[in-house]
Amino acid sequence: MAADDYKLPDRGGSIVLEGRERLSISGVIDVISFDEKEILAETAEGELLVTGDDLHVERLSLEIGELAITGRIDSLEYKGDSARKGSIWSKLF
């Protein structure tokens, strides 16, 4: 198979949070770092930081771009994306 024949799957992203205890993310390109307090993943939408307690990567499939996390999820934050594209305020003014 030639390099031109290989296509990556569609990496559009979605996030599903179930009761602050289970998080499913699609559009995952890579997991940069993880421990029981933080998971940093590169997604199609930018770097996503998940924080909480007792976090575990339950399932990771980079071939299809899916990541499942369990534990107590406190926050989700995209890092650096607003700096590249400009914040909503900079677009308004």
Domain boundaries, the chain: 11-87
Look up residue 61 and give its two tokens. 């499939």
Q: What confidence tens digit (pLDDT) does each residue in 23-67 have? A: 999 999 999 999 999 999 999 999 999 999 999 999 999 999 999
Q: How confident is the model at residue 18 (pLDDT cuts 50, 70, 90)?
A: very high
Looking only at the bridges linking them, the beta strands covering 22-26 and 66-79 are antiparallel
Supply the pLDDT for residue 9.
52
Instruction: Report the predicted TM-score, pTM, of the whole model to 2 decimal places.
Output: 0.74
CATH of region 11-87, choose from 2.60.40.2000, 3.60.70.12, 3.40.50.1110, 2.60.40.10:
2.60.40.2000
Q: State how far the alpha carbon of 7 is from the alpha carbons of 13, 45, 92, 93, in Å.
A: 17, 19, 37, 40
